[in-house]
Amino acid sequence: MRRAAGVLIALIAISFPVVAQQDPQKAEPPPFLTFPILLHVNDHALVNGHLVFGGDAAAPAPLASNPGTAAYLAADPSLSAALSTGSDRDVSSSPDSYEGETGTLSAAGFASRLVGGSNHIYPGNCSAAAASGTLGDCAPLAYSSSDGSSWSKTALPRTWNGTTFGIGFDPGVDVDKNGTFYFTYGVAPLSRNFPNAIVAVKSTDGINWTQLTPVTFNRSRNFDDKYYLAVDRSSSAFANRIYVSWDRNSGNNQILLISSSADGGNTWSTPVKVNDGTSRFERVIGAYPAVDQSTGVVYDSWHDYAKDVIFVDRSANGGATWGTDVAAARTHTGFGVDIGCVGGRAQGPAHALRVGPSGALYLVYADQVTGRGFDVLFTRSTNGGATWSAPVTLNDDAGSADQFHPTLSVEPNGVGGDKVTVTFYDRRDDPANCQANVYATQSTDGGATWAANVKQTSAASDFDGNPNGPGDYSSSAPFSSAVWPFFCDHRSTNPETSTAGAFEIYTVDVH
């Protein structure tokens, strides 16, 4: 992540490295990891609420001057049979574009349908005037399949409340207990940062989508970013409630908000602040809500990169009020670390949170580990998030190759406990620690023991060549007796007719 010159903010001295210049009028989004919007920064130094690095566009370095590293603790090896894998396949097949930052959800019990989403950006060619589905239409894509082999894709709307936006980003997908899919994402202009909005669409087939009321529509300098959603499929009083959570950049502050809809996205509740911090200099990012589908209790999680902690909180009344933030995991990344070969963008924890059928909470994230570079770590809670187990490293390689962008899927496994599947980018096969494959591991006993890691991709990716690199996160979902990770792929054989493309969405069936 490039950074600019230093400033004094809220009486706290922070230093900033010098960064390369970027043309603020170029119709290309910078890397999609949001810094807080600083009040002194000119609007022209912002694109989609993200700082255009150079000039007076200052952004904070990690607030912990030396975040250190986590202690290494390997996961217990499993005695169960090894994972098997199917064939990895190109889902998007879109020359000259960047696809990444995926959201995925299956509805096998409803319409036997696997639905996913991703960013879809034409580097240097995003245009608010582009027709839907044509070059320059930088709206998110929705993918739909009934078998995991053949796929349809649909470009989603960029016109909301009479405004046609230049770009859409940060997709999230979930489904209600009736089989209706909900897809949320952000929209913003190609210069300045407002108006911007969190918007929502719904579908019963993942192909035909109906626009809903926007969750937010900001005409001020506030910028909402990094949305995920979760839908209650329990039989509680909150059944079919849709939760959307995000971080709000407002002046020098960055807080966590959540809103919900009890009527299928027609109306949304007033956003409620989740994180307990009350200073004017909060630093949170990466909201990840999750619902206990047995009780209707909703959890929310986020990374506080000033404190270097992933926090979890819970609500038992449909998101109206929240408890006390619980530190689920200590991190050692600050805002992010450039691990190389990822387009120059910083890598943060990219955490994911799920609640299993047993009621246990599962959390995966990436972190710097002593002597090992970036590893994928796992922790769980069996008492409603009150306490968390000591984190263990899930990647079983030797040495210091980097692993990052974990995904998390949880399924029932009968009397054996929850089945937990984790996939991640892994650079163990490249002595230069640059080319990345996707690996997977699985636990059939609620995270007590783990299967040996298995490579899932047939070719490695080098994520340099685009400032968005692999994006900020990936996703996965169970479907048809397998788990399907959705991930950005940049192998050399992807379709490409210019030097800006070939960043595709791939998937693979993990058994």
For Cα atoms 361, 385, 80, give the angle at the middle one, nearest 5 degrees: 30
Q: Average pLDDT of 107-111?
A: 54
Which letter does DSSP use for residue 173 in this model? E
Q: Is 287 left (phi over 0), alpha (psi -120 to 50) or beta?
A: beta
398 domain-assigned: yes
DSSP string of 435-482, one letter each residue:
-BEEEEEEESSTTSSBPPPEE--SS-B--TTSTTTT-S--EEEEETTE
30 domain-assigned: no
CB 498: neighbour CB atoms within 10 A?
Answer: 12
91 or 78, higher pLDDT = 91
Q: Average pLDDT of 465-483?
A: 88
CATH number of 371's domain: 2.120.10.10
pLDDT of amino acid 497: 64
Here the tokens at position 284 are 């949170």
For the chain, the maximum distance between any two Cα atoms, rounded to a whole number of angstroms, is: 60
Residue 54 has pLDDT above 50, yes or no: no
pLDDT of amino acid 106: 61
24 domain-assigned: no
pLDDT of amino acid 462: 92
Residue 27 has pLDDT above 70, yes or no: no
User: Is the CB of residue 280 less than 8 Å from the CB of residue 271?
Assistant: no
84 or 17, higher pLDDT = 84
**Whole-number Å distance between alpha carbons of 497 and 290:** 40
19 domain-assigned: no
pLDDT of amino acid 145: 95
Q: Average pLDDT of 214-232?
A: 93
pLDDT of amino acid 174: 95
51 domain-assigned: no
Per residue in 332-356, pLDDT (tens digit) is: 998 888 899 998 788 999 999 999 9
Q: Is 434 left (phi over 0), alpha (psi -120 to 50) or beta?
A: alpha
40 domain-assigned: no
270 domain-assigned: yes
pLDDT over 90, % of the chain:
68
What is the number of residues in the chain?
511
Per residue in 388-428, pLDDT (tens digit) is: 999 999 999 999 999 999 999 999 987 778 999 999 999 99
Q: What are the phi and psi torsion angles at 44 (to 5°)? A: -70, -10
Residue 109 has pLDDT above 70, yes or no: no
pLDDT over 70, % of the chain:
85
pLDDT of amino acid 327: 98
Q: Domain range spanning residue 380?
A: 89-507
Q: Average pLDDT of 470-491?
A: 92
Alpha helices, DSSP H, located in 296-362: none
How deeply is 6 buried, as exposed, middle or buried, from its count of CB atoms within 10 A (0-12, 13-18, 19+)?
middle
Count of the separate structural domains present in the chain:
1
234 domain-assigned: yes
Query: pLDDT band for position 382 (50/70/90)?
Result: very high
User: Three-state SS for 260?
Assistant: strand
User: Is the CB of residue 276 less than 8 Å from the CB of residue 321?
Assistant: no
Residue 335 neighbours by CB under 8 Å, 6+ apart: 1, 33, 35, 60, 61, 62, 283, 285, 305, 346, 348
Residue 59 has pLDDT above 50, yes or no: no
pLDDT of amino acid 140: 95
pLDDT of amino acid 260: 98
What is the pLDDT of the chain when averaged over all its residues? Answer: 85
Which of 221-225, 228-232, 324-328 is predicted least confidently? 221-225
Q: Average pLDDT of 378-389?
A: 98
**Whole-number Å distance between alpha carbons of 382 and 13:** 41
Here the tokens at position 262 are 């009890």
pLDDT of amino acid 376: 98
Please identify which residue in the block is written with the tokens 């479907």.
479
Q: What are the phi and psi torsion angles at 7 (to 5°)? A: -140, 170
Radius of gyration of the chain (CA): 21
pTM reported for the whole predicted model: 0.90
Residue 468 has pLDDT above 60, yes or no: yes
Residue 206 has pLDDT above 80, yes or no: yes
pLDDT of amino acid 281: 85
**Whole-number Å distance between alpha carbons of 87 and 397:** 23
Residue 18 has pLDDT above 60, yes or no: no
Query: pLDDT band for position 65 (50/70/90)?
Result: low
Query: pLDDT band for position 81 (50/70/90)?
Result: confident
pLDDT of amino acid 110: 59
Residue 261 has pLDDT above 60, yes or no: yes
Please identify which residue in the block is written with the tokens 């270097």.
308
Residue 138 has pLDDT above 80, yes or no: yes
**Whole-number Å distance between alpha carbons of 311 and 113:** 33
Q: Average pLDDT of 453-477?
A: 91
